[in-house]
Amino acid sequence: MIVSCPACGTKNRIPDDRLKDRPKCGKCGSPLPPVTMPDRPVHVTDASFGGEVLSFPGIVLVDCWAPWCGPCHMVAPVLDQLAAEYQGRIKIAKLNVDENPGMAARYSTQSIPTMLFFKGGQLVNRLVGALPKNQIEEQIRTLLV
C-alpha cells in the first residue's frame, strides 16, 4: 500500500502485513494516517487507476461496468457483499467504461460486465458476464492461496 505523508508529502510503501502497526513516514518520521481496505467497492478512473489498482500490492478485482448495462446492475450487489466479506484481504474497484475509455481499451474490455483480477499490479485473470457469486468467489479464493 502506498500512503502519502500528510506532513511532508513523501509517498511511503507499507507492506500489507504492517498496515496495523501505526506506520511512520520514512523521511520525516511523522505518523501516517490509518490505512484500511474499504468494505465497499471504490470507484476508479483512468487517472486514479495506477494508484488504486496497479500500485496496490495485493489483490484487486476491477468491475468494468456502465450505467446503462442491466447485467452490470445485477452484479453490483454481489460485489458489495464480496467487498464486505473479504475486507482486509482484497480490494474491489469499479471502473465506468463510458467515462474511462482509456483503461477499458488498455485491458481490451469488449463486453460488460468484465471483472479484471490483479495481483501485485499485474493482470492475472478476467471473468466476463453477470456471473453468480460462487463463481466470482471461487476466483478470489484461488488468488488468495
H or E element: which one contains 135? helix 133-144
Vertex 142 angle, CA 109 and 18, to 5° = 100
**pLDDT of 52 over the 70 cut:** yes
| Number of domains making up the chain | 2
Same domain? For 27 and 68 the reply is: no
Residues 78 and 113 in one domain: yes
- How does residue 17 score in pLDDT terms, banded at 50, 70 and 90? low
Both 25 and 46 in one domain: the answer is: no
Q: Which domain holds residue 20?
A: 1-35
In the structure grid, which three cell numbers stand for residue 7, read together? 506532513
- pLDDT tens-digit series, residues 72-103: 999 999 999 999 898 878 999 999 999 999 99
What is the pTM (predicted TM-score) of this model?
0.75
Residues 2 and 46 in one domain: no
Known catalytic membership, residue 69: yes
pLDDT in tens, 55-68: 888 899 999 999 99
Q: Which of 10-14, 58-62, 108-112 has the lowest mean pLDDT?
A: 10-14
The active-site residue, picked from 5, 25, 64, 69, is 69
pLDDT at 105 over 90: yes
**Do both 62 and 27 map to the same domain?**
no
Which residues fall within 8 angstroms of residue 2, CB to CB, at 6 or more apart? 11, 12, 13, 14, 51, 55
Coil, strand, or helix at residue 123?
Answer: strand
**Tell me, what's the pLDDT at 102?**
96
**Same domain? 11 vs 50:** no
Residues 26 and 79 in one domain: no
Closest CA to 63 of 74, 76, 50, 54: 76
User: Quick one: pLDDT at residue 38?
Assistant: 66
Residues 72 and 94 in one domain: yes
Q: Which of 131 and 55 is assigned the larger pLDDT?
A: 131
Q: For residues 18 and 79, state if they share a domain.
A: no
Say yes or no: 30 and 64 in one domain.
no
